[in-house]
Amino acid sequence: MREKVILVCEECLSRNYQTTKNPQKNTTRLEFKKFCPVCNKYTIHKETR
Protein backbone atom coordinates (compact mmCIF):
# COMPACT_ATOMS: atom_id res chain seq x y z
CA MET A 1 0.00 0.00 0.00
CA ARG A 2 1.23 3.47 -0.86
CA GLU A 3 1.95 5.87 1.97
CA LYS A 4 1.77 9.65 2.09
CA VAL A 5 5.02 11.57 2.52
CA ILE A 6 5.66 15.27 3.04
CA LEU A 7 8.40 17.10 1.17
CA VAL A 8 10.42 19.78 2.98
CA CYS A 9 12.56 22.51 1.45
CA GLU A 10 16.26 22.12 2.21
CA GLU A 11 16.87 25.86 2.60
CA CYS A 12 13.92 27.30 4.52
CA LEU A 13 12.52 24.01 5.96
CA SER A 14 8.96 24.82 4.92
CA ARG A 15 6.65 21.90 4.21
CA ASN A 16 5.40 22.70 0.72
CA TYR A 17 4.41 19.47 -1.01
CA GLN A 18 3.03 16.03 -0.31
CA THR A 19 3.15 12.92 -2.46
CA THR A 20 2.86 9.15 -2.17
CA LYS A 21 5.37 6.36 -2.47
CA ASN A 22 5.48 2.59 -2.34
CA PRO A 23 7.75 1.71 0.60
CA GLN A 24 8.27 -1.84 -0.60
CA LYS A 25 9.85 -0.75 -3.88
CA ASN A 26 11.46 2.51 -2.85
CA THR A 27 13.18 2.25 0.54
CA THR A 28 15.29 5.41 0.24
CA ARG A 29 14.06 8.91 0.94
CA LEU A 30 12.53 10.76 -1.97
CA GLU A 31 14.28 13.85 -3.27
CA PHE A 32 12.94 16.25 -5.89
CA LYS A 33 13.93 19.63 -7.23
CA LYS A 34 10.75 21.69 -6.91
CA PHE A 35 9.71 25.32 -6.66
CA CYS A 36 9.56 26.74 -3.13
CA PRO A 37 7.12 29.66 -2.85
CA VAL A 38 8.75 30.85 0.38
CA CYS A 39 12.27 31.00 -1.10
CA ASN A 40 10.85 32.01 -4.50
CA LYS A 41 13.23 29.69 -6.37
CA TYR A 42 13.80 26.03 -7.26
CA THR A 43 15.34 24.08 -4.39
CA ILE A 44 15.79 20.47 -3.34
CA HIS A 45 12.86 19.03 -1.40
CA LYS A 46 13.38 15.89 0.68
CA GLU A 47 11.02 13.46 2.31
CA THR A 48 10.46 13.82 6.05
CA ARG A 49 10.09 11.00 8.54
Q: Does residue 46 contact residue 29 with C-beta atoms inside 8 Å?
A: yes
Tally DSSP H helices, then E strands, for the chain. 0, 4
* pTM assigned to the model: 0.86
Domains of the chain: 3-47 (2.20.28.120)
Q: Report the 10 Å Cβ neighbour count for 7.
A: 21
Q: What are the backbone angles phi and psi of residue 35, rounded to the nearest 5°?
A: -80, 130
pLDDT tens digit sequence for 5-20:
999 999 999 999 999 9
pLDDT tens digit sequence for 38-49:
999 999 999 997
